[in-house]
Chain A
Amino acid sequence: MPKGKLTFDHERCKGCGLCVEYCPQKILYQDKKTLNDSGYNIVSVSEPDKCIGCAFCAMMCPDSVIKVEVDK
């Protein structure tokens, strides 16, 4: 069971990649094939099972794209 669950508000994403850089598990990637309405490459999770729910990605996101839920 993954400890954390990420939900993305893709339309707000500007594809800066800060979340990808600061994910300690390195499970985020920029989806080069998918664009949002503004024309930015959106971010997706490659291995959702490995998420530890640290919320570093959401903390570093300037545009509040990511919502983090954790098991308690």
Chain B
Amino acid sequence: MTVKYEKTKGLTDKPLSYCPGCTHGIVHKLVGESLVELDILDRAIAIASVGCSVFSYQFFNCDAQQAPHGRACAEATGIKRVLPDNIVFTYQGDGDLASIGIAETIHAANRGENITVIFINNAIYGMTGGQMAPTSLIGQKTTTSQDGRNQADHGNPIKISEMFKTIEGVAYLERVAVNNPKNVIRAKKAIKKAFKYQKEKRGFTMIEVLSSCPVNWGMKPVDALKWIESDMIPNYPLGVFKDKGADDEKN
């Protein structure tokens, strides 16, 4: 018998602090596996954000730093410039990246900082108790939009990947989901490619991962994954938005 799948060495043995069925755990595994497979775990530096993933510095089996709310990309910029040979990545949720931290993220992307951003989009503020996030869908009920988000009062959901597509410094940008095994395999490929591009010093790479929040959505874990398929993916279409590597090969 040979081992086909086991706990990756990219993660520590500490039990994850996330709720049952939260897909943060799946994305953590994909990041850990990618770092191990590219043989960059020993020189990787994680930047944890504020939100549910605030403790991710305890889970990634590499050096880590925890940034104030929204400032992960700014901190990653500083660390990457001082230590250019290290692989620096941020792990941020939508409350962190799409709301308070959107300025830092856009400017880091615009400068083409050679960092990787793992962006978890679960359409809600998880840690603080299920408030409406910039990415919440129209009609979605949250604790601060109890009749559902409406366009007149709250505006439309921010589509981060569509927005970042136009920025010159972005080298790789893809939106993936982790709602079934097929999409998990695709998400792994995307995350690995982003780290590979950083290793090749191509520029800013970002992977948006459509993720679930069963507790704050008020659903069972399996139903939450089905809601990603039925409601989130039609609003946030999956796919590669920018791939400078592929563009270079074409030209």
Residues of A within 8 A of B181 (CB): 22, 56, 59-60
| B222 in contact with A18 (CB, 8 Å) | yes
Interface residues on B, range: 20 to 34
| A67 in contact with B5 (CB, 8 Å) | yes
Question: Is B184's CB within 8 Å of the partner chain A?
Answer: yes
What's the Cα separation between A63 and B29 when bound, in Å? Answer: 9
Question: Is A45's CB within 8 Å of the partner chain B?
Answer: no
| B21 in contact with A70 (CB, 8 Å) | no
Residues of B within 8 A of A67 (CB): 3, 5-7
In chain A, what residue has the closest Cβ to B3? A69
| B6 in contact with A62 (CB, 8 Å) | no
Residues of B within 8 A of A48 (CB): none
| A64 in contact with B7 (CB, 8 Å) | yes
Interface residues on A, range: 20 to 34
Residues of B within 8 A of A61 (CB): 25-26
What's the Cα separation between A69 and B24 when bound, in Å? Answer: 25
What's the Cα separation between A14 and B220 when bound, in Å? Answer: 13
Residues of A within 8 A of B23 (CB): 62
**Nearest-CB distance from A67 to chain B (Å)?**
4
**Nearest-CB distance from A33 to chain B (Å)?**
19
Q: Which of B13-65 contact A (CB under 8 A)?
A: 15-16, 18-26, 28-29
Binding site for A on B (CB under 8 A): 1-8, 11, 15-16, 18-26, 28-29, 180-181, 184-185, 214, 220-222, 225
Binding site for B on A (CB under 8 A): 4-5, 9, 12, 14-18, 21-22, 40, 53, 55-56, 58-64, 66-72
